[in-house]
Structure formats: structure tokens, C-alpha cells
Amino acid sequence: MLFLAINPEVNGAISTYHTELKTYAVYDMPKRVTSVQSKKFEIDCQGLLGLVIELNPKLILIEERKTNNGFEMMNYGLILGITSGVQQEVIVVKRKSWQRYFSVKDNRNKLFTLAKDLFPEADFTGKDYSKAVALLIAKYGVMVKKSVFEGTLLP
């Protein structure tokens, strides 16, 4: 089963984890320039949709966003709309839930170190925090589904 996880920021990332093959991949969030002068970007809807269709995941996990920033909420809404339209199961994951599962709080260094430990072959550097988060969300999703199938509860 192929899991797809999304860290839904404009500078976020997308990861996949294949449970049978035990393989993973990480992608930058597709984005496009909205203003050259102010260097603003927004989610590239066609790019995201194309990637999701190409990968054809069985489950899509999206980190929940709660913010007062209208621009971030617009992008989050676009991601929810696009992923809902591909007729795959979509689960919105609370940040605290997946971080609690891994026993870490919102600490960039600890999260990044954990991702490197779990995915030592992953190609990301200290600047790729969003990719580390996307991989952790995918791993969390695999464990959530496993617990559902086995009838056990997660902490």
C-alpha cells in the first residue's frame, strides 16, 4: 500500500511510503511564483494534482493547519480540495498526534534527527525540515493503519 503524506505549507513537502516494498520518496511542494518583486509563491494546483494522480496512493495524510494567516489557509484549502477530488482516502492528522506518537514536541532539531534515524538514506539536509516532517507523517500514517487492522489502539 502506498501512503502519501503532505506537510501543507507553500514551502512544505510531500512524501510517500510503500508498505510492501519498504521504500520512500520525498518531493518539494509544487509551487508557482505569484510575485517576482516580493518573492511570493503559492501552491501549484496542477502540479500537485498531477503528482497525486501519478503516484496513485491508497491513503493520503495531510497535517492539519490552524492559522489566522489567510494565505496559508487558502493554500491548505487548495490541498484539501485537490486531494479530496482524487477519490482516495484522506486523513487529516493533527500535529500533536503524530508528534506524541514519536514522543517529540515541535522541536525542529529533534524532529529532523528522528527523521534521519528512521530514514537514513533520505536525501535532505538541515534546510529540508519540511521533508523530514512529511516523512514522519507518512510513517505515522503507516502505524495508524496497522493499528486499525490489528485492532489495537495507538497512544
The CATH number assigned to the domain holding 33 equals 3.30.420.10
Query: Residue 149: what pLDDT?
Result: 46
**What does the block give as the cell for 125?**
539536509
Which residues are CB-contacts of 48 (< 8 A; sequence separation ≥ 6)? 14, 29, 30, 78, 79, 82
Place of cell 495507538: 154
Does any domain span residue 16? yes
Structural domains counted in the chain: 1
Does any domain span residue 19? yes
Does any domain span residue 10? yes
Place of cell 502540479: 47
Does any domain span residue 32? yes
**What does the block give as the cell for 83?**
486531494
Query: Residue 84: what pLDDT?
Result: 87
Query: Residue 70: what pLDDT?
Result: 78
What domain range is 100 assigned to?
Answer: 2-145
Query: Residue 153: what pLDDT?
Result: 44
In angstroms, rounded to a whole number, what is the distance separating the alpha carbons of residues 8 and 43?
A: 9
Positions in the chain whose pLDDT score sits under 70 = 35-39, 125-127, 146-155
**What does the block give as the cell for 27?**
518531493
Query: Residue 154: what pLDDT?
Result: 44
